[in-house]
Each structure stands twice: as C-alpha cells, then as structure tokens.
Structure 1
Amino acid sequence: MTAMLISVVELSNILAVFAVFLIICLFGVFLIVMRNMVLRVHGDDFMFGGNAGAMPHSPRIPQMKMMKVHIPFTFKLHESSKSTYAEVECEVSSQVEYSLQAIWGVSIRELHLALWKPWNAMRDASLNGTLLQGHAQYLTPPQIRQPHGEETLRLSLPAPELELGTPPRLCYPLVIFLTRKDNRDPHPDETVALVNVVHIKDSVCTLPTSILAQYLKQANGQLSCLKQLYLATGNSTSYDEGDVSSGIGPALALAEPCNNSNGNTRDALVASGASDNEGSLWNSAGEQLCVVCQYFPLSRALLPCRHTCICASCFGKLDRCPMCRSPIKSYFCIRGEEYMPNDNDINPCKQRQATHGPSHWLHDWNDRLTDFLGFAR
C-alpha cells in the first residue's frame, strides 16, 4: 500500500512538471504569435511586440498632379504588316484647320532640335515647307486641310528608296507633322502640333512597321512624349502592346514632359483625344469596373506601368499592380471619384467589420492568426 501511494505521488509530480512545461510552451507560442501579429483597429495598423521594424508600414503612394490638355488631332496606322515605302496607310482626324506634311529620311538629331524650337518658328517653317529642310532626304509639300473626321490617307515615298544605312540608324524613315494653322495667338497650354515618328519595315531592319514615338507640342514651347494608357477592359481606350499599328486616337494618354537643355519641365499631362468626351469612358455596360472589386468604376492610372484598372476603394489595399504585378510608385486620377460613399454610408469593403460592431477587431485578429498558422479561412 505504501509503495502504491509513493508511485501515485511520483506520478502526480511528473504530471505537474509536464503541465507546467506545457503551459510555458503555450505561453511562448502565444508571445511569438503576438510579437509578429498586426491588428487593424478602426482602419489603423497596430503591432504587438518590441520588434516593430519586422513589419513596417508601407509608405503612402504619392498622387501625381496632372493637368488635362486636349489634342485636336488623331493619328493611327492601318495594316502595319502590309505597309511598305510604296504605301503607308494611316487614319487622321482634326478639329481645327491644320497643315499635314510627311518628311522621309529625317535626321534623328535634327528632328529633336527642331521640336524644341519656339512655336511661331515651327509653325512658319511647317506652313512654308522649310521644316527640316537640308536634314531630310525627301520633303513632301505641306497640305493645308480643313477640320474633318476620321479619314484614311495613303502616303508613299516620292523616290525609289531611302538611304538609311544599317542599324543603329541615324535617320527615321518617316515623320508626319500635324500642325495647327492659326493666325491668332493660342493659349499657352493649347496643343499646336502632333508629331508622329514612324518606322517602316524593310530588308535591313525587319522590325514591324509601327509608330516609334508621338510628340505633343504646346504653344508655350512645352514638348511631351505621348504614351497610351493600358485599360483592362475592351473599350475604345484599350491599348494592346502587341498592336504595333496603334496611335493616338479617341482615348486618354499620358504625356510625359521631355527634358530640354535647361532642365526645365512642367508637370505631367493627361491628354484626351479629339473625339473624347467626359462621359464616353464610363457607360453602364459594366465593362469598365475595377478588376479587383468589380463594384466601383476604375478611376486611377498606376505608374510606371500605366495600367488603368482599379478604383479608389481598392487602391489603398494594394502596393502592386493587379495586372502586371509591378510595384506602384505613383498614380493619377483619370476621372472624378464621386462614386465613393460618404462617411455615413457603409463601404462594401468594410461591411463585414461594421456588422460585427465593436468586436470587429477580434474577428480580424482571428483571421490574421488563421493566416499566420497557415489554415484556410
């Protein structure tokens, strides 16, 4: 009997030690979990534990202040796979009276020097047909044209061939100037010229025929390089990187200021095409919704990737573009964001938190703990 009692006492001591050890282990696990856990309370992140640098707050992504300018011209290439020096087919429209001139075999250096000339000098040279004279192989006479809608033009080289040399070449095959013909002094921010640099496929340089660059000239002398925005939806503003025949059409584009010799640049621009209007992008068809929530309309263009695919509500939850996964450095708005609910309204993204009342942080904590431990929610 005595031996049995001694055995029970020893077993109880072992169980007590094991229980204490188990409690210590559980407490250690709890501390580790709490040390690496972030709780979101009323929209703010709080971190437990002293190692706050292990999970820093992501910096706020800055908004780029943009100024919207209007382009009175549109220019696009057609059937680029079939374009040759004998015939380049393009589509042009204009809302103003303008001069159209096609210049072949243009010196790259002299073109960029000419683009930085004052607007008055550039306009006079374009109207007189002396623009880039002596720095191009063939100059076609300028055509003065009245405003018109989309019209197909066919351009052809007025000589048997160009002497462009071997790559890397020092000349552009074709540059097309669309220049406003105004006797009045335009507003300083008004668009006065659209310059289109076109590459044409040949036996030496077999890259597909495409628009290499498009430059926007303003009356104040500012020169900007136009870059199309990439929309995730199939509408008139969509832009396919593989579509080498694309150009500035009835859409929005990012106009990035070019650096001149003085280093003076202005803020970036949002350029709208000739047939663009404020409501055309945001119809009720449903294809312009945010790719993340599929609830609000997309309204923000991400930089530097230029994907326009998310709304203001989802933007705050992302640090990478949902389309290409590249980091978001900055952004700008391409439309008003009046669709965002007021403070009195319930945001669909926070609806579950609101339904839980004051204890919503417990549910958020539970979700984060579940994710941390690797279980599926």
Structure 2
Amino acid sequence: MSVWDDVVGQDHVVEVLRGAAGDEAAMTHAWLVTGPPGSGRSNAARAFAAALQCPAAGCGRCQACTTTVAGTHADVSVVATEKVTFSIDEVRDLIGVAQRAPSQGRWRVMVLEDADRMTERTSNVLLKAIEEPPPRTVWVLCAPSPQDVVVTIRSRCRGVALRVPPVGAVADLLVRRDGIDRDVAVVAARAAQSHIGMARRLARDPEARARRSRVLELVGSVRGVGDAVLAAAELVETATAEAKAATEDRDAAERTALLRTLGVEDGGTLPPTSRAQVRQLEEDQKRRATRTQRDMLDRALVDLLSLYRDVLVLQLGAGVEAVNAAHGDLVRRLAEECPAEQTLRRMDAVGEARTRLEGNVAPLLAVEAMAVALRPQA
C-alpha cells in the first residue's frame, strides 16, 4: 500500500515526486503539476503532499499519510474552486495560511487545484508568495498545461507533466478501488478516454451512461437546421438539469446551515443585517452552477469529438481501437453519409463551440451554431 497507488500510468512523475519528497536537496518551494483533464493531477498533488509529510516518502500507512489523504492534516491545505474563477480574497486568505510555520508536519503544503482559473490580477497577488515563501512552505499548483498559468508564476515553479493514462491502467484502478466488473470498467475507461473521474462515474452510474448515449444519438438525428436547433436545446437543457441536480441539495444545505448560524429559524424573517451574507452565498452558488453547467456541456462536446474521431478512423481505415465501440452502427452510418473532409469540419465545429463556451458565449447560441454545422452537407 502506498499513497502513489491511485496515481495510475504516471511512473515517470511518481519517480520525480517521490525522489523529491525523500531528499530535501532535490526539493524546491514551488511545483506545477500539469496534465490533461482526468489524468490525475489532483491525485498526484495530494499524494505528493502526503509524501512530503511522511518519513518514508509516502508509505500510505502512517498518520501523516492517512490524515493528508483524508484531508485532515493540519499542515496541508487543498484549495479548489467550484466557481468560474478564484477571487482575490480567496487567494489572499490562502497566502495568509502559507505564512505560518508547520505545526505538526515536516512542511506547510499548499495545494492549489484549478490554478488555471486565476485571472492575471489574482495571479499577481499570488506571485510574491511563491517568489519568497517561508523556509518550510511548499506550493503545489495544478493546471491542464503550463500555458494556462501566467508566465511569471510558471517560471518560478518546477514542472511535472502527466500524460493520459492507458485504458487498461484506469480499468485496473476501477476494479481494484471500486470493485467494478472488469468488462464494465474497460468500457467505461475507453468511453471516458482515460479520464479517471469520468470513467468512475460511467462505471458506477447507469443513468450517466444513458445520458452519454443520448448525446451521441442526437448527432444522428440532425438532418437540417430545425433538427439542429432542437438538438442544441436538448443538449443545453440536459446540461442545465444535470448541473441543478448536482448542486441543488448542497445549495439547500448551505443555506440552512447559514441561517442556523445567523440564528434564523426555517421560515423565519431574515434580519436586514444578515441579508448581505445570504446574498453573497446565493451569488457564490450561482457561480458554482454556471461552472457546473459549462463543465457538463464541455464533457458532452468531448464525447461528440470522440464520436467523430471514430468516424474518421473508419473513413481513413486506420487500425486503431474505437472509443465508442458500443455505437458501431451510428459510426458506420456517419462514415457513409459524408467524406472525411466533412468529418474534419464537424470536429472543427465542436472545437469552436468549446472555445466559445470558454469565452463566456451564451451556451445555447454556441451549441446551436455547432449543431447547424453538424448537419449533412449536400
């Protein structure tokens, strides 16, 4: 057993991080862990934090390892945002914690997930703390790629790059950690394109698998502009419903807890002095819902890209395994109805929609434009 067991398919990264944790001469005060979505950036960062606190560089059994993995170690702070971006106040609070000397462990470890969600102004606030940290403080930033972090911070971090893990390694993890049937685990890992979190969700949730299949089927139903508009509306409605389902219970629990803290009973009148706090909570929840909806939509678009990738593979006669083997009939039909050039244009349309969503274009407009471009061309 080791804290590195869940960092699958990343032997080169584990070797570097484990070596640094066991040898202070190889340590540096700031690290940037990069890799595509689902590659295990957060797992690697948390494992590294545990290894830094562990005398054996991550045995997985000692108190330092178990408390770090559980998120209860006093000297390890793991911060992520469920909003579109980090606020300056959140980063300032984190910097304040980083200035404290470790109280129990060997290091004060600051893990900042989603470092790519900092604006340039927020990044500048963090810059000085990374340039001149206290002697026993280590920053571990996570982002999809080095280019997603401003160059002034990137240049002051030691980078380690994760890769997409093999399908077999992800399936092995699902079988070992979650007890998933091997065949289901392999199908889920392949459909998720080795995205560990998504593979786990697909393997454990039949409804998630059904929703993914529906997204792919929508493409086959687009024959004209009217079909495209309807398909786009369904895609956005589905993403919105999923986002609401994912956040609704938590939103209600947070509101109830806040009102209880303010001394307001259920159904009671909210004092004017407390309204600002409730309003702030509601604004934070709206930002979280916005990010969740975008993430759900982006995942659906990635699934569409995987479908067209399979279509292109079939059209070009490439001898590689299909991502969507269970949708072979749809893949063959799409491959027969258009040439490879149109498949590439369709993939470009999906990629453009992802870029527009990232740029805060209204989701329905971005998806409608994409869906119109997906219809068969005469």
For normalisation by structure 1, the TM-score amounts to: 0.23
Q: Which has the greater radius of gyration?
A: 1
More strand per residue: 1
More helix per residue: 2
For normalisation by structure 2, the TM-score amounts to: 0.23
